[in-house]
Amino acid sequence: MVRFLARRLVSSLLMVVIVASAALLLATASPGDYVATAGGIGANQQRMARERVRLNLDRPPAVLYLSWLAGAVRLDFGTSLLYQRPVGALVAQRAANSTLLAAAALIIAALLGLPLGVFTGSRPTGLAPSIVRGASVLCLSVPPLIASILLLALAAMTGIFPTGGMTSLASPADGWSWWLRDLAWHVPVPAMAVGLPLAATLERVQSQALADALAEPCMTAALARGVSRRRLLWRHAWPLSAKPVTAVLGLIAGALLSGSFAVELVTAWPGLGRLTYDALGARDIYLAAACASAAAAFLAVGILGSDLLLAIVDPRVTIAPPARGPTAP
Partner 1 sequence: MIGRRRIVLGIVAMVIVAAAVAFWRTRRLPAGAPGSTATSHRGGTLIATLRSEPPTFNRYSGNTYATALVNDLTQAPLVRINQLTQAVEPWLADRWTRSADGRQYTLHLREDVVFSDGHPFTADDVAFSFNAAYDAKTASVLGDALKVGEQPLSVSTTSPHEVVVTFPQMYGPGLRLLDNLPIYPKHRLAAALAAGTLATAWGTSTPPNEVAGLGPFVLTRYEPAVRLVFERNPHYWRVDAGGQPLPYLDRIAMEIVPDQNAELLRLQAGQIDLLQDDLRPEDYVPLKREADAGRVRLMDVGTGLDMHVLWFNLGPPASADTHRAWLQRAEFRRGLSHAVDRRVFARTVYLGAAEPSWGLVSPANTVWYSAGADRPDYDPDRARALFASIGLRDRNADGQLESESGVPVRFTVLIVKGVGASEKGAAFLRAALARLGVTLDVVALDLSSVVGRWTAGDYDAIYNFLLTDPDPAANLDLWLSSGSSHVWNPRQAQPATPWERDIDNVMARQAGTIDPAERRRLFEQVQRTIAEHLPAMSFAIPHVYVATSTRVASFTPALKRPQVLWNADEVSVIASGAR
Kindly list the residues in this chain that would bind partner 1 in the complex (CB under 8 A).
30-33, 36-45, 47, 50-51, 54, 82-85, 90, 93-94, 148-149, 152-153, 155-160, 162-167, 169, 265-268, 270, 274-275, 277-278, 281, 283
Considering the complex, state which of residue 236 and residue 274 has its C-beta at the smaller distance from partner 1: 274
Q: Cβ of residue 50: shortest distance to partner 1, in angstroms? A: 5
Considering the complex, state which of residue 159 and residue 226 has its C-beta at the smaller distance from partner 1: 159
Q: How far apart are CA 114 and CA 61, in angstroms?
A: 48
Considering the complex, state which of residue 80 and residue 136 has its C-beta at the smaller distance from partner 1: 80
Q: Cβ of residue 31: shortest distance to partner 1, in angstroms? A: 4
Q: Cβ of residue 172: shortest distance to partner 1, in angstroms? A: 8
Which residue blocks in 215-271 are alpha helix, DSSP H? 217-224, 229-231, 238-266
Considering the complex, state which of residue 66 and residue 174 has its C-beta at the smaller distance from partner 1: 174
Q: What is the dihedral of CA 10, 16, 20, 26, to 10 degrees?
A: 100
Q: How far apart are CA 315 and CA 101, in angstroms?
A: 32
Q: Cβ of residue 245: shortest distance to partner 1, in angstroms? A: 33
Which residue blocks in 283-317 are alpha helix, DSSP H? 285-313
Q: How far apart are CA 228 and CA 182, in angstroms?
A: 45
Considering the complex, state which of residue 205 and residue 262 has its C-beta at the smaller distance from partner 1: 262
Q: How far apart are CA 237 and CA 214, in angstroms?
A: 6
Q: Which residue pairs, CB below 8 angstroms and at least 24 apart, start in 10-15?
A: 11/300, 12/297, 12/300, 12/301, 12/304, 15/296, 15/299, 15/300
Strands (E), 31-153: none
Q: Cβ of residue 297: shortest distance to partner 1, in angstroms? A: 20
Considering the complex, state which of residue 166 and residue 194 has its C-beta at the smaller distance from partner 1: 166
Q: What are the Cα distances from residue 67, in Å, to 74, 78, 252?
A: 11, 10, 35
Considering the complex, state which of residue 43 and residue 219 has its C-beta at the smaller distance from partner 1: 43
Q: Cβ of residue 108: shortest distance to partner 1, in angstroms? A: 20
Q: Cβ of residue 127: shortest distance to partner 1, in angstroms? A: 11
Nearest to 129 by CA among 195, 199, 207: 207
